[in-house]
Amino acid sequence: MTSVLLERAPWETAPALPRLLGTGRKLAEHREAYGGIPLRTFAGEEGRARLIQEVTQAGLRGRGGAGFPTGRKLASVASGKKTPVVLANGCESEPASRKDKTLLTHAPHLVLDGAVLAAHAVGAEKVIICVERGGSLPERLERELAQRKGDPVKWQIARIPRRYVSSEESALVHFVNSGDGRPIAVPPRPYERGVDGRPTLVDNVETLGHIALIARYGPDWFRELGTQTDPGSTLVTIGGAVAQPNVYEIVPGMRIGEVLDAAGGATEPLGAVLVGGYFGTWVPMPEGWSMPLSHDRTGPGGVTLGAGAIFALPADACGLAETARITRYLAEESAEQCGPCMFGLPAIADDLRSVAFGRCGPATRQRLMRRIEMVSGRGACRHPDGATRFATSALTAFAEDLETHLNGWTCSGVSRDPMLPLPKARDRGWR
């Protein structure tokens, strides 16, 4: 908020990080460190309104990717006529991200406290925790929930199909309502009409963790870190050619190079960094080193942290081949409900594959550009737009490589093993 904050690099004012991670896995540890849920501080109608106000003043933005102001979403849901429902989104279907799973493992009770507070703020009686099915996480959460006595909400765990688009908010609502994990056309949006036709607050689990801290320490404390428009700390998953790939808590406003240094720095010369996962943007390196990262879009490519997946690609890997492979995956993950996604994404993936591996020429590029433009903005959900954003950024970031490929030269990078991660387990159906 203050000019002092802006004069200094944002992270120089950092009190001890982490804020979110390292709060204790067990309920007893968590309560010892943080005490109970401060519901009494926000008692009654006045208290609920004050809680929403504090989240708004804190400037917290959603950590699920879109970066929407959380306080505004709370206020919208709270103003509905029916009793709302809270969906805590911990699905994290993004293969390059595991910050939500990490948070739910290392600090589950911080997230659950935040969900209780969010439910209190909007007047909800029920919280549904959405996590991908399979693995041990759903059962571990069941056990932690059983430990918690006296929470003023009814808990439920929804086990969501392992599909890329099933973690999108309309898909979560659709699954909870009908058992079908495909996105549905909006409007009405979940905050207007969601689970059982009720106003539904869909918040990422990290967002809820921040709410739990803001309720305890206040908006000014929250704003001690970060930028004016994107305050606080944020979780990122750093992968690729860095010394220690892992989940880290960073501060919005940090530069790409500094974020990579948090993971021990690059282990070889980098060609590009993918910021924001598979709906994200390729940033060429080393030029991109000093680009600040936050939930505000930066630079001509509109780079944003999104859900915080950051991947360092070595200079001798082929960004076009990586992009072609991931675009194929995104095409396969289409819910095949609308034409632009069902036909457009496979066609774009085919063209990218031709560019990366096969025989192609200027006509291939023209067709690819035309198809990207044709699909953009026409999907039922944001899946095709996310995929085309990713493809477009590759054509820009790897423009020189593109010329080489189009002129029929072989690229040594295509023979390197694929780097960007794909999920090991994928569901086929939607139920």
Partner 1 sequence: MTSPSEDPPRLQVNPIACVAHGVCRELLPERITMDEWGYPIVDGSPLPADLVAHARRAVAACPTLALRVDGKLARRR
Please choose, from the candidates 110, 124, 115, 117, the residue with its C-alpha nearest in 3D space to the C-alpha of residue 51. 117
Nearer to partner 1, 229 or 337 (CB): 337
CA 272 to CA 91: how far, in whole Å?
27
Whether 272 and 282 have beta carbons less than 8 Å apart is answered as: yes
* Closest distance to partner 1 from the beta carbon of 185 (Å): 5
Whether 335 and 341 have beta carbons less than 8 Å apart is answered as: yes
First-to-last alpha carbon distance for the chain, in angstroms, is: 46
184: contact with partner 1 by CB under 8 A = yes
Going from the C-alpha of 68 to that of each of 5, 74, 204, 226, 230, the distances in angstroms are 23, 11, 11, 16, 10
The residue within the footprint of partner 1, chosen from 152, 179, 188, 264 (CB under 8 A), is 188
Please choose, from the candidates 338, 66, 372, 385, the residue with its C-alpha nearest in 3D space to the C-alpha of residue 185. 338
CA 372 to CA 366: how far, in whole Å?
10
CA 230 to CA 228: how far, in whole Å?
6
* Closest distance to partner 1 from the beta carbon of 235 (Å): 33
Whether 241 and 282 have beta carbons less than 8 Å apart is answered as: no
CA 51 to CA 67: how far, in whole Å?
20
Nearer to partner 1, 175 or 282 (CB): 175
195: contact with partner 1 by CB under 8 A = no
CA 89 to CA 111: how far, in whole Å?
10
The residue within the footprint of partner 1, chosen from 65, 194, 280, 344 (CB under 8 A), is 344
- Residue 360 tokens, joined: 């192609």
CA 333 to centroid of chain Cα atoms: 17
Nearer to partner 1, 315 or 347 (CB): 347
Nearer to partner 1, 337 or 404 (CB): 337
Nearer to partner 1, 164 or 398 (CB): 164
429: contact with partner 1 by CB under 8 A = no
Residue whose tokens read 């080393």? 286
Alpha carbon dihedral 274, 335, 388, 303, in 10-degree steps, equals: -40
Stretch that binds partner 1, among 83-91, 94-102, 118-126, 183-191 (CB under 8 A): 183-191
380: contact with partner 1 by CB under 8 A = yes
CA 279 to CA 78: how far, in whole Å?
30
The residue within the footprint of partner 1, chosen from 340, 386, 413, 421 (CB under 8 A), is 340
Q: How many CB atoms lie within 10 A of CB 70?
A: 26
CA 222 to CA 237: how far, in whole Å?
21
Please choose, from the candidates 280, 332, 352, the residue with its C-alpha nearest in 3D space to the C-alpha of residue 311. 280
Which 241-300 residues touch partner 1, going by CB under 8 A?
none
* Closest distance to partner 1 from the beta carbon of 318 (Å): 28
* Closest distance to partner 1 from the beta carbon of 181 (Å): 13
* Closest distance to partner 1 from the beta carbon of 366 (Å): 13
The residue within the footprint of partner 1, chosen from 68, 221, 343, 357 (CB under 8 A), is 343
Stretch that binds partner 1, among 182-190, 278-286, 310-318, 410-418 (CB under 8 A): 182-190
| Binding footprint of partner 1, residue count (CB under 8 A) | 20
317: contact with partner 1 by CB under 8 A = no
Nearer to partner 1, 16 or 363 (CB): 363
Stretch that binds partner 1, among 46-54, 71-79, 179-187, 313-321 (CB under 8 A): 179-187
Instruction: Give the ranges where 123-184 is alpha helix by DSSP (H).
Output: 137-147, 169-178
* Closest distance to partner 1 from the beta carbon of 337 (Å): 5
339: contact with partner 1 by CB under 8 A = yes
* Closest distance to partner 1 from the beta carbon of 190 (Å): 14
Nearer to partner 1, 367 or 426 (CB): 367
* Closest distance to partner 1 from the beta carbon of 251 (Å): 39
Interface residue list for partner 1 (CB under 8 A): 174, 178, 184-188, 337-340, 343-344, 347, 371, 374-375, 378-380
